[in-house]
Structure 1
Amino acid sequence: MGSPDMQTYETFLVNKADHIATIRFNRPQKLNPINLQVMLDLEAISRDLETDYDIRVVVMTGEGRSFSVGADFASLREPLEQGAGEDPRSVREQQLTTVQATRALNALEALPQVTIAMVNGFAVGGGLSLMMSCDFRLAAESATMWIPEVDLGVTYMWNSLPRLITLVGAAKTRELVMLGDRISAREAFEIGLVNRVVPDAELNAATMALAQRLSGKPPLALQRTKAQINALAALRSGDMTFAEIDMGHLCSYSADGRESREAYFDKRSPMFEGR
C-alpha cells in the first residue's frame, strides 16, 4: 500500500492513496453549498489530477451530512434582489460564477480517470450537477435529490440540462426541473440518475470497493473508453454555456425572479407578474 498524500484547499480536502484520489467537499456546517471559491478550487483540483498518472480513480463526496445543497442562494439573495440596472457589478459577478462553475464541472467530467460520486444526504440543484459530472453515482438509501432552481426564479445552469437529459431523457428532465419535486435515492436509481443505492452504513465501503475494482483494470483502456463515451454524449447534447448565461440572468434579475427568492426565503406564496 502506498502512503497517503493529503492536500488541503479552501473548500475541499483531497486524499491520494493506492491509485485512488478522494475529494471531500469541506463546508459541512452549511451542508456544502457551492460558491465561486468552490468552483475555483474544483477546477484547480481537476487540473492537478489531470496530469497525476498514478491516480486511476477519483471519488467525490461531501463531508458531514450532505453531498451538496447546491448554489449558495442565501449569500446571493441581496445582490440578486438589487436588480440588474442598480448594480451592474453584481450581474458581472454572477456571469463569472456561471462560467467558472461550467468550466469546473467540465474539467471534472473530462478527467482521464474514472470518477465516482459517493452521495450522502442531500444532492440539490448545483450539487446534483456535481454528481452528474461523475462517471458513476452511488447513493445512500437516505439520500434526497431535487432541483429548486425554477422555484427560485432562475434556470438550471452550469451545462446541467444536457447531462440530465443524457441520464434520464427529456421527458423526465422536464418533470424534475419544472416541478422541482424531491425524489428518493431509490427513485433516482429507477430513472437512471444513480447507478446503485446502498444502505447508509455501507456507502463508503461499497464506493471504495468499486473504486478498487476499477483501479485494477487496464488504465489506458478505461481512459479511452471514457473518452469515447464522453465524446458521443457531447455530440448529442452540446454545450449550453453562453445561452445559459443569457437566459439564466434574464430570469435572475427579473421582477418574478426576485419575488421567487423573497417568497422562498420568507416561506410564503409568491405573487408573480410575468415580467
Structure 2
Amino acid sequence: MIDWLTIRRGDAPLIVSVPHAGTDIPADVEAALVSPWIGRQDADWYVDRLYDFAGDLGATMVATPISRSVVDVNRDPSGASLYPGQATTELCPTTNFDGEPLWRQAPDDAEIARRVNAYFRPYHAALENEIARLQALHPAIVLYEAHSIRSVVPRLFEGELPQFNIGTNSGRSCAPSLTAAVVAACSTHPGESRGPESGAPTPGPRLSRGHVVLNGRFKGGWTTRHYGRPEDGVHAIQMELAMRGYLDEPDTFTPETWPVRYDESRAAPMRETLARVLRACIAFAKEQA
C-alpha cells in the first residue's frame, strides 16, 4: 500500500477517480516553483470533498493528494497533447492555466521521468487493480473521472464554461445509454437560467440550454481515453464542473482571494446532483447484466 495514495474500496460497479484535487508538493519540488501559490492555483479545489459520499453508494474512490503541478496523472505519459492545436498543460506542466510560468527552471527529462515513476505509475497501477477487481464481480463497470475548473479561463476556452461538461472521447469511451443517463441526471440540477434579453443570470428551477455540454471543450483526458473500452465492459466518462456550481468564485484570483473556503451549504445542491449522476452510473452498469 502506498501511503500517499487514497483508495477507498466498494463493491458497486463504479470507480470515482479524482486526479487533480491534490495540493501536496514535495519540498524539493516546491523550492523550484515561482511561488507555492501559483503551484497550487489550478487544483480541482475540493472535488474530493464534493464526492465524499461516493462510498455510501458502494463506489470505489481513487485519489491522489499530489498536485497536478508536480505531474499530471491525466495526461498522456508519452507527452503527446490531448488537444492538438489548442492550449493545454503538459504531463509536467510548465505554465498554469493562464499561461504564467510555474518554474524558475522547468524540469528536465530526467526529472520528468522521476516524477512519472514516483507518482503517475502508482496512480494508474491502482486504477488498473481496481478495474480488474470489480470486473471479477460485474459484467460491466463505470470509471468516472471527477474534475472541476474555474468558470472563466480565457487561455483555455472562450466566455464562461458551461456548468456540466461531460466527456466521452467523442462517444468512444462508453455506451451511449450511459452518456444519456448522466446527461439526464445533470439536466434537473437547480441552478441559473438566462434572462432572454439581458443575458443576466436569474433564478430558475432548471439549467438553461447549453449548461450541460457533451464533448465540448473537454472530451475526456488520458484516463478516460485510455481505459474506456465499452466492448470489454469498461465504460469511462469524465465530468468537468465549472466551479461556480459549488463555490463562490472571486472576481480576481490572487493569493488573498483564492482558494475560497469550502462551504457545505453552498455545495449541497451540487452534491445532490452528483449523487444522482453516480447512482445513474451504477444503475447503468447493473443493467448490463
Structure possessing the higher relative contact order (Cα contacts under 8 Å, 6 or more residues apart): 2
Q: Considering fraction of residues, name the structure with more helix.
A: 1
Question: Do both proteins adopt the same fold according to a TM-score greater than 0.5, normalized to the shorter chain?
Answer: no
